[in-house]
Structure 1
Amino acid sequence: MSETEPTDAELLEILIAPHPTLRARARSVAPGELDAIRALLPAMYATMYKAPGIGLAAPQIGQSRRFAIVDVADGDERRPITLINPEIVARSESLAVHEEGCLSIPDIYAEITRPEHVTVRYLDEQGAAQTLSADGLLGVCLQHEIDHLDGVLFVDHLSALKRNMLMRKLAKNLKGR
């Protein structure tokens, strides 16, 4: 193991649906909590990269607070983005369809329709206000992670029939583990 790879002790547990924390709206991060969030970020990023994933929201690791991380860079390149109290402030009227999956719904994927472009306002890990406009994979990832902060899973964007079918498949997959 290289020095940069996390040990299993440093990795966080990722909650699996239907865990109730995944369905609760997360509370805003207060200014006095930034140090605690910064302390959690290395383990959170290590967990996301190891999974492997491109985004991880605090509720997925049992923290019902409004922060998430994303990194959609290719290969070994890293471009991490920490989003504290993110909010979507603009959405395009045009829609796009992308295949989505989720670390909290392992091995389940579906085509999801979302706004093609979003603008997100958030605080970075230093507490500085930031604005990010994105489309493509980053735009999808931002919307997916912000949904987690609102207690929404990607399967909630599907018809009830398709969602129930996928959740039954998840339950069956988990029994086999």
Structure 2
Amino acid sequence: MILPIVAYGHPVLRKVCDDITPDYPNLKELIANMWETMYGSNGVGLAAPQVNRPIRLFVVDSLQIIEGLEEDEKKDYPDDKGVKAVFINAHIVATDGDEWDYNEGCLSIPKVREDVSRPESLTIRYVDEHFQPQERTFNGITARVIFHEYDHIDGKLFIDHLKPLKRRMLKGKLENITKGKISVDYKMVFPK
């Protein structure tokens, strides 16, 4: 089932989310719905707060980005094979490498894209959908997508990484999103 995506301005997007246990109600169904919602809105990642659940859960499919790169672009990310994975109770252990800019967008902040600077790689500890402990290092575009989704479960948004002047320039667009004055091809829930 496709779930509505929470729009910028909704308080759940600013909440530091809670860890969950394997007995979280309807978890398997929620994960399936998040995948369907993400693909239905042409996303590459989706965090639980974006579907109004304040829990430390997100899904990522960076395989579709890596597979879509031209051959000459793939050389820019030689170690990035992409990943399709569920991240539960994730906590970043370490970051590494130089910061680099990449143009990011967000399903909760539609029609706004900006260059964001993030480190090249991250090591993250989490449990998968079977609650099996994982600790992996990701780099390149995959790391970027994970950083972005991880921010969501910590109550942050990609626009928080922008310089104050750039954020002020976006103020009108952000207010329009909050007021529901935007048209998208997926279901959204706007703040009241």
TM-score class normalised by the smaller sequence: 0.7 to 0.9
1:125-164 alignment runs, 5 A limit: 125-164=129-168
Q: Look up the equivalent residue of 2:105 and give its one-letter code.
A: G
Number of aligned positions between the proteins: 166
Q: Look up the equivalent residue of 2:51 and give its one-letter code.
A: I
Confirm whether residue 56 of structure 1 aligns to residue 46 of structure 2. yes
Gaps of 5+ in 2: 68-81, 184-192
Q: Deviations over 1:9-44 (max 9, x none)?
A: x110000101110011111112322x6222211111
Distance 1:18 1:176 in 2: 13
Confirm whether residue 175 of structure 1 aligns to residue 181 of structure 2. yes
Change in CA separation of 1:111 and 1:120 when aligned onto 2, cut-off 3 Å: same
Change in CA separation of 1:176 and 1:67 when aligned onto 2, cut-off 3 Å: closer
Q: Look up the equivalent residue of 2:87 and give its one-letter code.
A: L
Give structure 1 regions of 4+ aligned residues with deviation exceeding 6 angstroms: none
Q: Once the 2 structures are TM-superposed, how far is the Cα of residue 80 of structure 1 from its aligned partner?
A: 2.5
Gaps of 5+ in 1: 1-9
Change in CA separation of 1:49 and 1:169 when aligned onto 2, cut-off 3 Å: same
Q: Deviations over 1:46-95 (max 9, x none)?
A: 100010000000000000000000001127x8952000001110101421
Distance 2:138 2:83 in 1: 14
Q: Once the 2 structures are TM-superposed, how far is the Cα of residue 111 of structure 1 from its aligned partner?
A: 0.5
Distance 1:62 1:169 in 2: 22
Q: Once the 2 structures are TM-superposed, how far is the Cα of residue 163 of structure 1 from its aligned partner?
A: 1.6
When the two structures are superposed, what TM-score results if normalisation uses the length of structure 2? 0.80
Distance 2:149 2:64 in 1: 19
When the two structures are superposed, what TM-score results if normalisation uses the length of structure 1? 0.87
Distance 2:108 2:100 in 1: 23
Structure 2 residue corresponding to 1:40, chosen from 10, 30, 41: 30
Contact 2:17 2:154 in 1 (8 A): yes
Deviates more, 1:132-141 or 1:162-171: 162-171
Distance 1:56 1:164 in 2: 26
